[in-house]
Structure 1
Amino acid sequence: MKRLTLLRHAKSDWDDPVARDFDRPLNRRGEKAALLMGQFAAKRNMAFDFLIASPAVRVVQTLDTFFAGYGETLDAHWDRRIYLASAPTLLDVVRDLPDSAAHVLMAGHNPGFEELILDLVPDDGANPLREDVEVKFPTASLAVLDLAIDHWRQAATKGATLASFTRPRDLDPALGPGTR
């Protein structure tokens, strides 16, 4: 059994005049959400043994803030393939994960993360969380997927169970849509 937790970067600052999208930082709401999600992961005793992430500034900052709330830090394995990747590219990244890792935290972007979840989890009506993801996978959200595999290279579409899906607004309504 392998477990994959996806962390979408927190809300970024569209008003920051950076030259490249890659360099866009978090805004204050994003920082608050990332810290809250880290605290949530700690309370749930989520234990990650490998971290792979997009090197985009907003992902790096999300992880820094997430781990401040989580209470410990993991060394990141930066993979540029994750930056704005499609679901098939993200599945390739998953299949390349080291088998020594049982619970991987992957931090990155939408729409790829949402599409990856929808590709991995069967659309059979058995999991209402999948329907929530289909509506939207908001910034700073965490999705935990269980894969009944022994080797990451065995990851396949429709081969996962969505064990949990938590949005910042589930923990603090002030972080929901329409709030700043």
Structure 2
Amino acid sequence: MACFHAKLGSMSVAEPRRIVLFRHAKADWPQVSDHERPLAERGRMDAAVAGRKLADTGIPFDLALCSTATRTRETWKLAVHELPHRPKTVYEERIYDASPGELIALLNETPEDAQQVVLIGHNPGIQGLADVLAGKAEADARERLSRRGFPAAAFVVLSFDGSWKSLEPNAATLTDYWAPSE
């Protein structure tokens, strides 16, 4: 089990925190265990595009929490190259096959000096977490998420006030949603 309690800088808890929930890109189906499935060719292309869209958000990530599955690690490796700043990355096995409640418990352990976190994981956990956390939504983000679902390489941006330990259902606002075109 990885530990990610490291000093990341000094930011005020008064500033809204942001969480980006990023689903891995499209995976291939070779004869390997689910955990070891690599990205498909389309997934490699979509991961890089998603990285550019993450860069476009302007969020200066402090921390990336990434599932240990091959497809999530490959997605993050391709996406992070598109960001202007490479955040500290922790590969966390508890993200693989996690429920929304388990993901909230993991986020509750986030160091308080991390303001902007990206979590790279899997469905149904990632979409379930977005649904559970988003008590409110800005503009048409919820409608777009409801209409498109959470396809491979999609991400949502959520913001909330308070400490990581206080993160709970309905505590966040869905501020943005992006998914690759089909």
Task: Classify the TM-score, shorter chain.
Answer: 0.7 to 0.9
Is the Cα contact below 8 Å between 2:26 and 2:153 reproduced in 1?
A: yes
| Deviation by residue 1:31-67 (Cα, 9 ceiling, x = unmatched) | 1111011112223322101111111000000011101
Q: Does the CA contact (< 8 Å) of 2:142 and 2:174 recur in 1?
A: yes
RMSD: 1.7
1:61 counterpart residue number: 74
Q: Which letter maps to 2:178?
A: T
Mean CA deviation greater in 35-44 or 45-54: 35-44
Cα contact 2:138–2:176 (8 A) shared by 1:
no
1:166 to 155, 158, 178: 178
Instruction: Letter of the 1:8 partner, please give it.
Output: R
Letter in 2 for 1:166: W
Letter in 2 for 1:168: P
Does the alignment pair 1:13 with 2:25? no
Q: Is this contact kept in 2: 1:118–1:134, CA < 8 A? A: no
- Cα displacement string for residues 89-119 of structure 1 (whole angstroms, at most 9, x for unaligned residues): 0110111111010000110001001111111
CA distance in 2, matches of 1:54, 1:92: 15
Specify the alignment match of 1:121 in structure 2.
Answer: 134
Tell me the distance in 2 between the aligned counterparts of 1:130 and 1:84: 24
Could you say which residue in structure 1 is the equivalent of 2:169?
157
Question: Residue 2 of structure 1 corresponds to which residue in structure 2?
Answer: 17
Secondary structure class of the residue paired with 1:114: helix
Question: Which consecutive aligned stretches of 4+ in structure 1 deviate over 4 angstroms post-superposition?
Answer: 124-127
Secondary structure of the structure 2 residue equivalent to 1:5:
strand
**How far 1:126 moved relative to its partner?**
6.8
Alignment of 1:41 with 2:84, yes or no, is no
> Which consecutive residues of structure 1, in runs of 5 or more, have no partner in the other structure?
170-175
Q: How does the TM-score come out when normalised to structure 1? A: 0.86
Aligned mate of 1:31, from 44, 65, 69: 44
Q: TM-score, normalised by structure 2?
A: 0.85
Query: Relative to structure 1, is the Cα distance of residues 126 and 103 closer, same or farther in structure 2, using a 3 angstrom cutoff?
Result: closer
The answer as to whether partners of 2:72 and 2:120 remain within 8 angstroms in 1 is yes
Query: What is the count of residue pairs matched by the alignment?
Result: 166
What whole-Å deviation, never above 9, does each CA across 1:1-45 have from its counterpart, x for those lacking one?
21101111000002x221x10000000100111101111222332
Which runs of no fewer than 5 residues in structure 2 stay unpaired? 1-15
Counterpart of 2:153? 140
Q: Aligned partners of 1:30 and 1:163: how far apart in 2? A: 25
Structure 2 residue 118 is the aligned partner of structure 1 residue 105? yes
Contact 2:46 2:153 in 1 (8 A): yes
Q: Which has the higher helix share?
A: 1
